[in-house]
Chains A and B, each alone.
Chain A
Amino acid sequence: MGAVMWIEVLSRHGEIAARERVDAPQARVGRAFDNDVVIDDPHVAPHHLRIFRAEDGELVAEDLGTVNGLYPEHGAARVERLPLAREPGIRIGRTILRVHDSAHPVAPEKPLTPPRAHAAWAAGLGIAVIALLCVIEWLGVTSERSANLLVLPLLGFATFLVLWAGLWALLSRLFFGQARFALQLRIALTACLAFLLWDQLGEWLSYALAWPQLDDYASYGAWALLGAACYGHLVSIGPRHMRIAMGVIVALLAAGAAMQYAGRAEARRIAGEPATLGELKPPEFRLRPAESVERFLAGTDAAKRTVDEARKKEPAAGLFPEAEPAE
């Protein structure tokens, strides 16, 4: 049990504005200048509270008979006395104080990130993403070969990435004090790499399983990946209201995914599935076992039942104008 106590006065933004060391067994807090800790808050009494050690050595705050009273930091109930061992925060007037015993435990030392580690990671990830993008673009070029066809999407992608990471770096500078652009870039690139791999997986599986809709469903995974990226960025910034920020992001992403779903569902409701084969890959990548002609054609009964059901229902008015050939 140390004899020293520390009283921290927090700013309105939650940062520590002042930290006073009190060597005496008790400390007085208030607006008057004869206090141990002086607080510039018009809602605090000249002599607002007294902090002393109880018989068991625990620090306790005591209201000295004020108008605005004494509250725990996160509580709404006014108290006369407040034991501080578990919850060191106090609210008086509009000011928040935290009282710590000298024996108060602190978190262990955080290892320093080696200099340029994030930059190195970002560079490595960047190379991987660009290489992957190049391969994907190259395999998709079936028209005239042109370097611009490769360069354009790459430039577009790079611009977007720098803007995205820059935005987060700006936020980081505002809330964390440091921009840490390399870290933001690393997080964004990780998400990009994951997205590209996920997207390809969707494409390949939709061919391998002869299931074109799979590619559509996979695109919803992209929203989850975007959410994960935002979470990563947020953690790196470490804002005070992490939960609220994440809640807002999740809500926005959910709205985006819901919009995509609604648009697709509407298009599907009007036109149905397209008579196309979806993305195709070389035949070696087939996974779904082949069936006999008879078996495949027997399977068309399910489609027949679905359209037979559909014809009994009146086609509802759509979001989009009716897709009918003009007279």
Chain B
Amino acid sequence: MIRPFLAAVAMAAASPLAFAQPAAAPSQAPLSSAAERVYEMAKPRILQVRTLLQSAGRQTTLGSGFVVSADGYAITNYHVVSRFALDPKTYRLEYLAPDGGKGALALLAIDVAHDLAVVKIDRTGLPFFEFDPRALDGTLPKGERMYAMGNPLDLGFTIVEGTNNGLVEKSYDEHIHFSGAINPGMSGGPVTDSDGRIVGVNVAKRLDGEQVGFLVPARFAAALLERARRGPPLAVDKAREEVGRQLDAWQSAFYQALGKEGFRDTSFGPYRGMESSAPWMTCWAATNADQVPKPRAAINTTRCSSTTGLFVSDRILTGRVDLTYSYHQSIDLNAFQFSHELAQQAAAASFDRGRRLTEQECTDGFVEGAPGARPPLRVRWCMRAYREFEGLYDVTMLALTQDRDREALLAQLVMQGVSQANAVALGKRFLESIRWAR
């Protein structure tokens, strides 16, 4: 299984047309023999990981995995086993080996932040993969050939040749950028160097690009395996609590990192707001200046978003922070029309996230300014709690400057999967950062 939201272009990438490139054919002859070697070596070590519906005994999701020890330890993605982890009464896990053997899988450890899980198969004495020491040190050269394996779209065990492009830049999560086709069903499958040593684990791909795949670096898998060996196995009925604990730990580390990277002032017309200095906050600007017919209020928006996305379950993707400032300036709207326009813009900011979260609850007020420094603000704080995980919330804050009647700064802070304390701390910073530029 590859994350479901990525599945859409999978069929297109696998279509025969994609391979029909005669120009590339002659030069590939020696390389494919390397792939052949790796595949021969890897084949007995790969697994298909199936999540079965307990009552029907049939598969509901498919992924891949790979054996890493003689006593049957194997690694896959957390998102491949997430249904079982969160609801062990409804689902069970099963593996299918390339030789046709199948059996039950035990879930021993999970790492939600890196999307990894350690499982154990019910037989021993199997050949297994070694980790590539260069991958553990992070010294893999860019451009090196890598071989991603798994069972894409349940079509059979497959090997995909691609190149290492190092760690993804401007990303909070450490992912290896793999230039090669990764498709649904390959999730959790191994990626090796040309000697068949593990360098990473298939995890995701971009839908808006071609052959842009992402791998979890091998060192996180090695660390989780170490933890699974030494620590007690995960109690199946406590897996949900463990997920909650890891989400809480993740957000706590994330907001600490965000604070440590610091914030800098940034100007929006006569106002200032804050912008994270973290390289993994990407900012985009938008304007309505080119709108037809000519807009009656100029709106210039800057939106900074963390590139984080934490898969929790099929229905919950969390861990994002968004900071949006839009500076509105009336062109020929009067004060009343301008405020009406602002109300409409603020309304567009609302979004729905389904009922895995509670209904949203809000608090309103005016926040006082500081003479010569900060304008007064109209503020709304809205939050929803995660039903399945205690102490985690989605928080949306809206703040609108209240000092002029024909220009205003509308600021929005969205925090997903955050604790109340971290949300209040960043919220305070956010409100206090809205200042006059001059």
Q: Chain A interface (Cβ within 8 Å of chain B)?
A: 139-144, 207, 210-212, 268-284, 286, 288-294, 296-297, 299-304, 306-308, 310-311, 315, 322-325, 327
A-B contact pairs, 30 of them (CB 8 A): A139-B337, A142-B297, A144-B296, A210-B365, A270-B355, A272-B359, A272-B382, A275-B362, A275-B382, A275-B396, A276-B343, A276-B350, A277-B347, A280-B346, A282-B338, A283-B376, A283-B405, A284-B405, A290-B365, A290-B366, A291-B368, A296-B365, A299-B363, A300-B363, A300-B427, A303-B382, A310-B359, A323-B352, A323-B355, A324-B354
Task: Select from chain A the residue with minimum beta-carbon distance to B380.
Answer: A277
Kindly state the separation between the CA atoms of A302 and B362 in the bound complex, as whole angstroms. 9
User: Could you tell me if B346 and A277 are in contact, using CB atoms closer than 8 angstroms?
Assistant: yes
A310 to B297, CA, bound (A): 40
How long is the Cα–Cα vector from A311 to B427 in the complex, in angstroms? 23
- Which of A143, A279, A290 counts the most B-chain CB atoms under 10 A from its CB? A290
Given contacts A308-B385, A315-B387, 14 further A-B contacts (CB under 8 A): A139-B337, A139-B340, A271-B359, A273-B361, A275-B349, A280-B340, A286-B402, A297-B424, A303-B382, A307-B359, A311-B358, A323-B352, A324-B354, A327-B314
CA–CA, A268 and B337, complex, Å: 28
> At the interface, yes or no: B431 with Cβ under 8 Å from chain A?
yes
Contact (Cβ within 8 A) B296 A142: yes
CB distance from B429 to the nearest CB of A (A): 10
B343 and A280 within 8 A (CB): yes
Q: Which residues of A contact B384 (CB under 8 A)?
A: 272, 307
B400 near A277: Cβ-Cβ < 8 Å: yes
Per the bound structure, the CA–CA distance linking A282 and B221 in Å amounts to 57
* A-B pairs, 4 with minimum CB distance: A272-B360, A272-B359, A290-B368, A324-B354
- Interface flag for B398 (CB, 8 Å): yes
A268 CB contacts on chain B under 8 angstroms: 359
Q: Are B355 and A315 in contact (CB under 8 A)?
A: yes
Expressed in whole angstroms, the Cα–Cα distance for A304 and B208 within the complex equals: 37
Q: Which of B377-401 contact A (CB under 8 A)?
A: 378-387, 390, 393, 396, 398, 400
List of B residues within 8 angstroms of A290 by Cβ: 365-369, 376
From known contacts A139-B340, A292-B368, infer whether A282 and B346 are also in contact, taking CB-CB under 8 Å: no
- With a cutoff of 8 Å between Cβ atoms, the chain B residues found around residue A281 in the complex are 336, 339
- At the interface, yes or no: B34 with Cβ under 8 Å from chain A? no
Per-position contact with A for B190-232: 1 when CB-CB < 8 Å, else 0? 0000000000000000000000000000000000000000000
B366 touches A291 (CB 8 A): yes
Contacts of B381 in A (CB 8 A): 296-297, 300, 303
Q: Which residues of B contact A272 (CB under 8 A)?
A: 358-362, 382, 384
> Which residue of A has the minimal Cβ distance to B430?
A293
B40 interface residue (CB < 8 Å to A): no
Partner of B333, one of A142, A278, A283, A296: A142
- Cα separation A211 to B380 with both chains bound (whole Å): 10
Chain A contacts for B427, CB-based, 8 A: 297, 300
CA distance A212 to B315 in the complex (A): 30
Q: Is there a chain A Cβ closer than 8 Å to B372's Cβ?
A: no
Contact partner, A282, options B336, B356, B382, B390, Cβ 8 Å: B336
- Contact A307–B385 (Cβ < 8 Å): yes
The size of the chain B interface, using a CB distance under 8 A, is 66
**Chain B residues with a Cβ under 8 A of chain A:** 4, 293, 296-297, 314-315, 333-344, 346-347, 349-356, 358-369, 376, 378-387, 390, 393, 396, 398, 400, 402-405, 420, 424, 427-428, 431-432
Q: Which residues of B contact A269 (CB under 8 A)?
A: 359
Contacting pair A304 B383 (CB below 8 A):
yes
**Chain A residues within 8 Å of B347, by CB:** 274, 276-277
| Contact A310/B363 with A142-B341, A300-B381, A303-B383 known, Cβ cut-off 8 Å | no
Which of these, A299, A315, A322, contacts B365 with CB under 8 Å?
A299
* Contact residue among B349, B362, B369, B404 (Cβ-Cβ distance under 8 Å from A273): B362
In the complex, what distance in Å separates the CA atom of A141 from the CA atom of B403?
23
Distance between Cα atoms of A45 and B318 in the complex (Å): 90
- With beta carbons under 8 angstroms apart, the residue of B359, B386, B393, B428 that contacts A294 is B428
Residues of B within 8 A of A210 (CB): 364-366, 378
**Within the complex, which residue of A286, A294, A307 is in contact with B366, where a contact is CB–CB below 8 Å?**
A286
Q: Please give, as numbers and ranges, the residues of chain A lying within 8 Å of B342 by CB-CB distance.
A: 277, 280
Interchain CA distance A211-B364 in the complex, whole Å? 7
Chain A nearest CB from B341 CB (Å) reads 4
**A323–B354 touching, CB < 8 Å:** yes
* CB neighbours of B354 from chain A (8 A): 322-325
A140 pairs with B363, CB closer than 8 A: no
For A315, give the chain B residue with the smallest CB separation: B355
Q: Which residues of B contact A212 (CB under 8 A)?
A: 364, 380
Contact A275 B339 (CB under 8 A): no
Q: Please determine whether A288 and B404 come into contact, CB atoms closer than 8 angstroms.
A: no
Q: Contacts of A304 on B, CB cut-off 8 Å?
A: 383, 385, 393, 420
Known contacts A276-B349, A303-B383, A311-B358; is-contact A282 B363 (Cβ 8 Å)? no
Cα separation A277 to B410 with both chains bound (whole Å): 11
Known: A142-B337, A283-B404, A293-B432. A311 touches B346 (CB 8 A): no
A270 CA to B404 CA, complexed, in Å: 36
Return chain A residues, CB-CB under 8 Å to B398.
Answer: 275-277
The answer on a CB contact under 8 Å between B346 and A142 is no
Contacts of B343 in A (CB 8 A): 276-280
Residue contact A275 to B368, C-beta cutoff 8 Å = no
Q: How far apart sit A142 and B356, CA to CA, in the bound complex (Å)?
A: 37
Q: Are A275 and B380 in contact (CB under 8 A)?
A: yes
A132 to chain B, nearest CB (A): 14
Which listed residue, A277, A297, A310, touches B428 by the CB 8 Å rule? A297
Find chain A residues with CB under 8 A from B314 CB: 327
A140 touching B337, Cβ below 8 Å: yes
Question: In the complex the two chains form, is B387's CB within 8 Å of A311's CB?
Answer: yes
Closest to B336 in A: A139
A307 to chain B, nearest CB (A): 4
Closest-by-CB residue of A relative to B317 is: A325
Q: Of all chain A residues, which has the CB nearest B381? A: A300
Which chain A residues border B337 with CB–CB below 8 Å?
A: 139-142
Please, which residue of chain B has its CB at the minimum distance from the CB of A135? B336
Which residues on the B side are within 8 Å of A307 (C-beta)?
A: 358-361, 383-385, 393
A208 → B minimal CB distance (Å): 10
Residues of A close to B385: CB separation below 8 A: 304, 307-308, 310-311
Cα distance, A299 to B347, chains bound together (Å): 23
B424 CB to nearest chain A CB (Å): 5
A292, closest chain B residue (CB): B368
CB distance from B425 to the nearest CB of A (A): 9
Instruction: State in angstroms the CA–CA spacing of A286 and B315 once bound together.
Output: 41
Closest to A143 in B: B296
B354 (CB) vs chain A CBs: closest residue = A324
CB of A206 to closest CB in B, whole Å: 10
CA distance A291 to B405 in the complex (A): 21
Q: Which residues on the B side are within 8 Å of A141 (C-beta)?
A: 337
Give the nearest-CB partner of B399 in chain A.
A277
